[in-house]
Structure formats: structure tokens, C-alpha cells
Amino acid sequence: MLIFFILFFLLHFSASHQEDCTPTRCSDQGLLIRFPFRLKNHQPPHCGYPGFDLSCSPDTTSTILNLPYSVEVLVTNIDYESQLIHIKDANSCFPQQLQNLNLSATPFQFADSVFEFSLFSCPSTNPDFLNWVTCLSDDRYVYPAYGDSVIYGAPLISCRKMYNLSSVPSEAFDQTADVQLKWPPWVCGNCEAEGKFCRFMSNTTNDEIECFGNLNPPKKGDLKRSLMIASLTIGSFLLLVTLLATYWFHRQREIKREDQRKIERRALIYEFLPNDSLEKFGSSHHDKNLLGWSKMLEIAMGIAKGIEYLHQGCNQQILHFDIKPHNILLDDNLNPKISDFGQAKLCSKEQSIVSMTTARGTIGYIAPEVFSRNFGNVSYKADIYSFGMLLLEMVGGKKNFDVMINGTDKIYFPEWIYNCLDSGEELAINIQDEGDAEIAKKLAIVGLWCIQWYPIDRPSMHAVIQMLERDGDTLIKPPNPFAEANPAIATGQASRRPFTRELDIVLSE
């Protein structure tokens, strides 16, 4: 609102400054003053013709015309269409003022015929038939005469010549007559023909005239109507702006509330977890020794229960698709927290197949069916596969887990674990006592069950938890998923299904 009024004031000020030559009056009932006249001390010089200034009487009831040589007369009327201004002498003594007047150098002339007069001061014994000017003398009669001729037939006997008056109308000697001045139409005729006012151009030194404004202002009733329309327009505009602003603020508040609700239907807020992620403890044997195998089993159990909760404990099934050590955070007591749900997908609990057009997850932990439908449809079993790879990394350490075979003299680490279990060899990992070996063997067997190529061969997370809770000696070793030579590029054979080399790849968008 404040900005609107400031703009309104600036526009009004600019318009007032630009239209400083608009018509004006000395009073509400006074004469309209416009070019070629200007109101002295109220309008700048370029609003009127030089030397023809109008001013207001001290009581502002009358309009005064200031003519050259300090001639000052009252204006009784101005006819802008006929280019006539009607004047009279305030003291009813034109001849006294006109003796110094010379209009020859101006565009204004007397409207009536003008003559050369001489004023004579004469005594008279019978002045009734004579026309005299009583305002010029109290004890003698002043007679106007055409040049040096007789005064209406009376001889100029005993008269004294006072002064000559050139180019004045005879009405000037009639103290009640209406004296008129005229100005040529070319002064402002072109602008008036266009229905506009005129003035001198203020930025030039020449007497160039420019047109502006509207010569026919609206009538009083039209002005009121225009003001009413303008008020209604401005009011409607302000009302519309107010309504739009109110709606905008209300909408912004609703959007913020919706965003807050989304942050609350979706935000996961974690407490401060000072022990970083599981990846830090799986990077070397030294870190693993700090945890201990019993703690490793507890962490594995906690992760499994967390995944089971995502799959079955929520209103909707949540598939994480990025289970890896880096996304397992540890609190003060080394309790695991599953984090980073940026690639997660929601689906109903009854939905066994998930539609996917883009592979999700981290290389090394992604289930085969996410890449190729030849292994089966994508389901919650993709998280089981990722969890199995995480268990094998917990058993063997990050360094061993990252070895991907490029030559024939090395072996894929998960396959090496399977071969050790198959031949009855001990796992060549950092084992402190016999109990640690049992835990490592249990984690390895469960991990191998989870990374079966085909989803149908993998256990559910509930079955995984049961296996982690059982004695390791009672666990059954899974079928060999590494039957062929190059499992690093997802080749192999499950126990009951032939493997095909020609895969239908799921392309990323």
C-alpha cells in the first residue's frame, strides 16, 4: 500500500510539473487564464507571450493585464475563440495610461479602428456639445482631436496642446466603453484546432510553440463521474491486489505445511552416531578385533531385524535397494542404524514383484535380477542379496572383498569362502578362539544363502534371523552359486536351474 501511494505521488508530481502551463484562475469565479497569457508569479515565463502577463488583484477578485510600459488595466473578459480580450481602466482614465503604450512591436492590437489623436487643454463656456476627458484636469477641459483639427467643429481657441496619442481607438475616451485587444490566430490557432493548449518550448531559445493537454476539459458532472470511475478502478485494483496477496500468503503457508508434513510421512531423524559406519570397522583386521566377533554377530542380527521391519513391520513394504556397510551407522553402544533411503521404493505388503526401469544400488551389492530379468523378478529378495554380500564383507574384510578376479591365479572372495566350507577347511581370517570361528562360519553360511543367484533360492529375512540365532553346526551349506569360472561378471549356475549366458539387460534411464 505504501509503495502504491509513493508511486501515485511521484506520478502526480511528474504530471503537475509537466503540465505547469495548464489553465488557471485568480479565483473560483475568475477568468480562465491560458496561453498567450500567463499568471505572473504562478506560472513560468514559457506559459505566456513576453510582456503580456496577467496578475491577480490584491483581493484576488479581479484579473489584471500588464501591458508594456507599465500600463495596467482590468480584464473583464477573454474570448479565446475570437482572440479578443476585453479591458477597462481601473481609474476610468485610459488616455492617461495610453500615452506611453505602443503595441506595434507586439502581436496584440486594438480590435477597433485606431486613429491619431491630440489632447488639448481648453477653457470653454459652453462645453455641452463637446466631448472632454474630465479625468485629466479638474479646472480645464481636455479635448481629444484628430491630429490638429477642430474638436467636433469647435475651433481650438485659447487651447493648449498636451500630447499626442497614436493608434488608439476612439472608445478609449469613453469612460464606460468596452476596449478590446486582439491577437492573431496563428499564435495558438494550430494547437486549438487540434483541441489542445499551447506554450513556448521551455528547452529552446527560439519562440517555438508546442501543443499539450486537452482544450476541452470534462464538465463538472463528467469530472465527478471520471473521478468516481477512477476511484472505483483504483479501489477494485487495490482490492484485487489485496485478495491476491492474501491468497498468495495463504497458499505459501499451506505449501510450507504440506512440505512440513512430507518431511515428517518421509523424514528420518537420527540421533548423533559417534561411531561412524560399519565400513570403518570392516576396513582392516585391527578394527574388527576392536569389535570382536560376538559384537559382529550382534550387529548382523540388528541389521537383519531392521531389514525385516522395513519389509514387514511398516504399513507399506519398504525396499531399501542400497544395503551396504557405508549405510549402517553405529551408535555409542555399536547398535546398528540403517540409513540413506534415497533409493528406497514403497510397495504394498501383498505385492511380490516391483516394477523398475532403472537399476538401483551400489555395484558389488546389487542383486542379479536388478540387472537382468533372466534371474527373476525384482522383489524384497534384492535386499536379502545385498545383506548377504554385507555379511561376507564382515567375515573377510573390505580388502579381500574388493578383489575382483582379472587373472586365472586368483579367486573371487565369496567363492573362496564357499570352497573353504565345502572342503572343510578353516577360514583363513583373524580368529582369536574357537567361538570366534563358529561365529565366522555362521555368518559365512548365512551370507552364502543370501547371495544365491535366483531370488527364489534366497531365504526371507525372517528365516535369516532364525539362522543367525541357531547354532552354526546345525546350519546347512547352500548350493554352489559359483559353478563357472568367471562369477565376477555374474556367470554361474544354481542347483536346480541352468544358467544362460545371453542376458536381457535392464537399461538405466
Cell of 340: 540413506
Report the pLDDT value the prediction gives residue 267, as an integer from 0 to 100: 62
433 versus 19: the higher-pLDDT residue is 433
Report the pLDDT value the prediction gives residue 205, as an integer from 0 to 100: 63
Mean pLDDT to the nearest integer, 329-350 = 88
Mean pLDDT to the nearest integer, 233-251 = 91
Mean pLDDT to the nearest integer, 31-41 = 87
Task: Supply angle C-alpha 340, 345, 351, rounded to 5.
Answer: 145
pLDDT tens figures, 433-480: 778 888 988 999 999 999 999 999 999 999 999 999 988 788 988 988
Alpha helix segments (H runs only) across 77-197: 94-98, 189-193
For residue 478, which of 500, 460, 451, 456 has the smallest C-alpha distance? Answer: 451
Q: How confident is the model at residue 15 (pLDDT cuts 50, 70, 90)?
A: very low
Whole-number Å distance between alpha carbons of 374 and 504: 7
For residue 167, which of 142, 147, 189 has the smallest C-alpha distance? Answer: 147
pLDDT tens figures, 287-322: 555 678 899 999 999 999 999 999 998 888 999 999
- Which residues are paired to 12 by β-bridges? none
Mean pLDDT in the chain? 77
**Helix crossing, 293-308 with 381-396: angle to 10°?**
170
Is residue 491 scored above 90 in pLDDT?
no
For residue 320, which of 271, 376, 380 has the smallest C-alpha distance? Answer: 380
Cell of 193: 484546432
Distance of CA 368 to the CA centre of its chain: 51
By the 8 A CB rule, do 94 and 179 touch?
A: yes
pLDDT tens figures, 39-49: 988 888 888 87
Provide CB contacts within 8 A for 306, sequence distance 6+: 336, 337, 338
Cell of 125: 463656456
Provide CB contacts within 8 A for 293, sequence distance 6+: 431, 432, 435, 436, 439, 440
3-class secondary structure, 108: coil
Q: What is the pTM of this model?
A: 0.47
Kindly state the percentage of the chain with pLDDT values over 70: 74
Whole-number Å distance between alpha carbons of 295 and 178: 123
pLDDT tens figures, 59-92: 888 898 877 777 788 899 999 888 899 988 877 7
Q: How confident is the model at residue 401 (pLDDT cuts 50, 70, 90)?
A: low
pLDDT tens figures, 352-398: 788 776 777 888 899 999 888 888 889 999 999 999 999 998 887 76
467 versus 205: the higher-pLDDT residue is 467
Grid cell 469612460 is found at 175
Whole-number Å distance between alpha carbons of 213 and 197: 6
pLDDT tens figures, 153-180: 455 667 777 877 778 887 777 766 778 8
Q: How confident is the model at residue 195 (pLDDT cuts 50, 70, 90)?
A: confident
Task: Specify the length of the chain in residues.
Answer: 509
By the 8 A CB rule, do 23 and 32 touch?
A: yes
By the 8 A CB rule, do 456 and 380 touch?
A: no
For residue 118, which of 128, 133, 138, 139 has the smallest C-alpha distance? Answer: 133
Is residue 495 scored above 60 in pLDDT?
no
Q: Are strands 141-146 and 114-122 parallel, antiparallel or unpaired?
A: antiparallel
